[in-house]
Structure 1
Amino acid sequence: MKILLIACACFLLLAITNLPIGYFTFLRIIVTIGSILVVVQDFKKGINLWVISFGITAIIFNPLVPVYLHDKSIWIPIDIASAVLFFSKAFSN
């Protein structure tokens, strides 16, 4: 699980560069999967900050009903904050 969380964080940090649109589709899928896995794993302990944070992240990066912000400058802080969230979870255990 830790490797997946670190990989998601690295993919999110890579997303702040100029990459083709296909990468962002891949990013949405990977981040959503990682977020849902954290939610499912931590929900067993009850609703906590991790469940809420990763639930919101899963909604924002959802590839089935995507959130389009149409401006990369809006996505950069979201990508960085999400990367910090994934790194925090990876090294909190």
Structure 2
Amino acid sequence: MAPKPMPVAPQEETLPLKVAPWDPRFPNQNQTKYCYQSYLDFHRCEKIKGEGDSVCKYFKDVFADICPNGWVERWDSQRAEGTFAGKI
């Protein structure tokens, strides 16, 4: 007896994969500084341009791509508490 064919699920729409572009200020493999600087740049941009400005989206996309989630959560909570070490 032949096995029954498995039903095929409809294809989900996939978004194109985006990665943080190469930045000549951070030429090494270790991207920690690039992550941190992009986080700072995003919040500085929002401080100047206002929340939700499309110009700032670039920096958010970069730090969301390369920063570990735990770091971002910790930095967000430190900013909320007023103990964040970075200058925004």
Q: TM-score, normalised by structure 1?
A: 0.40
From the two aligned structures, give the one with the greater helix fraction: 1
CA radius of gyration, larger in: 2
Q: Which has the higher contact order (CA 8 A, sep 6+)?
A: 1
Q: TM-score, normalised by structure 2?
A: 0.42
